[in-house]
Amino acid sequence: MTIAEVAKQYGLTADTLRYYERVGLLPNVRRSSGGIRDYSEEDCRWVEYIKCMRSAGISVETLIEYVKLYHQGAGTIPKRKKLLLEQREQIVARINELNDILAKLDWKLDGYEERMLKFEEDHLK
Q: Supply the CATH classification number for the domain 1-56.
A: 1.10.1660.10
Average pLDDT over residues 94-118: 92
Over the range 65-91, which residues count as b (16 or more CB within 10 Å of their CB) and which as e? ebbebeeeeeebeeebeebeeebeeee
Report angle CA 95, 68, 55 to the nearest 5 degrees. 25
CB atoms within 10 A of CB 26: 21
Kindly report, residue by residue over 55-84, the tens digit of the pLDDT.
999 999 999 999 999 999 999 999 999 999
Kindly report, residue by residue over 9-49, the tens digit of the pLDDT.
999 999 999 999 999 999 889 999 999 999 999 999 999 99
Cα→Cα distances 74→37, 46, 69, 71, 79, Å: 28, 18, 9, 9, 10
Please report the pLDDT score of residue 19 as a whole number.
97
Q: How far apart are CA 16 and CA 21, in angstroms?
A: 9
Are 48 and 10 a contacting pair, CB within 8 Å? Answer: yes
